[in-house]
Amino acid sequence: MSTENDDAQAKLIDLAAEFYDQFAGGQIPEMSIPTRTKSNIEYDEDERVWVYGDRKSTRSANSVRGARKLLKAVYTIDFLANQLEEDRSSTLRELYYLSESWDAKEAQFSDQDESNQLIEDLEIVSDVTREDFHMRPEESGATLMGPLHLREQTRRGERDIHCQEDVGEGGYQIPNNPDTIEFLDHDADFILCVETGGMRDRLVENGFDDEHNALIVHLKGQPARATRRITRRLHQELDLPVTVFTDGDPWSYRIYGSVAYGSIKSAHLSDYLATPDAKFIGIQPADIVEYDLPTDPLSDSDKNALESELEDPRYQTDYWKEQIELQLEIEKKSEQQALASHGLDFVTETYLPERLSEMGII
């Protein structure tokens, strides 16, 4: 078993040991975790990420319902500890189904929400990430293309891969747990996270990664944890600036927000997933005006989402206030690919160079 597995396993077993000690000491076993309601999650202005407040909830065996929850936790800890022992992994859905094979009927999950929630609880209490429990997501599938040479530790041995020279046009497929990657060498000047596949392919076709020494990370809409994790690691370990290029609508600003500041749901993972220094490239409402882009009108739900972003602590900057208010005024949104109305090279020859140099990146 690797040291990382050892460490994650030890923390899990500590948890179970606590229950044991509580029993042995004549106490009713309980597990205390931060309350995960919105009122107990706050935005830390200094760290620029979401964190939990001080309120705690207690799962105690003093009720049948609470005792059953702790029983499920113990069975799950046992499963995870074995999984790490054998250096294997599984999906959240497999865990849910697998519980049907457990001998104690009471320990089986009644639906998948319950098992998902328990894994999140265990993440928080043990301070071990889901990835370190070896729980995989159902689908991941984002890719990376650019001047980066890396080594991935796979079950079949090490793979040394250069993310331009050793991959096809589809790029390098980011694994479910990017912490299996070691960065060997690179010629990159910055990271460019891109929302849509169409734009990612345009940048690769136009050789933008090559010409500007950019690492192009495809976000595929709302990015998976693996995508946010590798972005953070590239930023921290290689000291590269991170930029985010999305459509110009409130849902895409949330994609930027999730890369930069994390989400309420993953407030316990901000240190692991968020990149608060990430900068937003566009499409900005100001670009819609300046570049006279083809647009669609804002729908009511777009307007509501913008209004709620005006209240969201993550967007309390002069920059975002100005952009969001401008968008509410012009009542228009625009897509990344709308830049093609000025020709297929406009994005790589004009728009991105202009924006990136305004931002001081190139």
Neighbours of 301 (CB within 10 A): 10
Min. distance of Cβ 246 from a copy of itself in angstroms? 14
CA distance 49 to 313: 10
Contacts of residue 205, Cβ cutoff 8 Å, sequence gap at least 6: none
Q: Which is nearer to a copy of itself, 56 or 88 (CB)?
A: 88
Say whether 205 counts as a known binding-site residue. Answer: no
What are the C-alpha distances in Å from 244 to residues 125, 138, 289, 291? 32, 25, 20, 19
Q: Which residues bind a copy of itself (CB under 8 A)?
A: 88-91, 93-95, 97-98, 100-101, 136-141, 143, 152, 154-156, 159, 161, 164-176, 180, 196-198, 201-202, 205, 207, 210, 220, 294, 335, 337-344
Say whether 85 counts as a known binding-site residue. Answer: no
- 312: tokens are 């969201």
Q: Which is nearer to a copy of itself, 48 or 342 (CB)?
A: 342
Min. distance of Cβ 15 from a copy of itself in angstroms? 23
Q: Do 137 and 91 touch, CB atoms closer than 8 A?
A: yes
Neighbours of 17 (CB within 10 A): 12
CA distance 211 to 237: 23
Q: Does the bond joining 119 to the residue before it have cis omega, within 30 degrees of 0?
A: no
- 38: tokens are 């919105």
Min. distance of Cβ 139 from a copy of itself in angstroms? 4
Stated as kind and residue range, the H or E segment containing 184 is strand 181-186
Min. distance of Cβ 265 from a copy of itself in angstroms? 20
- 249: tokens are 């609508």
CA distance 80 to 178: 20
Q: Which is nearer to a copy of itself, 54 or 103 (CB)?
A: 103
Q: Does the bond joining 283 to the residue before it have cis omega, within 30 degrees of 0?
A: yes
Burial of 358 (0-12, 13-18, 19+ CB in 10 A): exposed
Min. distance of Cβ 165 from a copy of itself in angstroms? 8
| Active site residues per annotation | 97
CA distance 98 to 108: 9
Binding residues: 195, 247
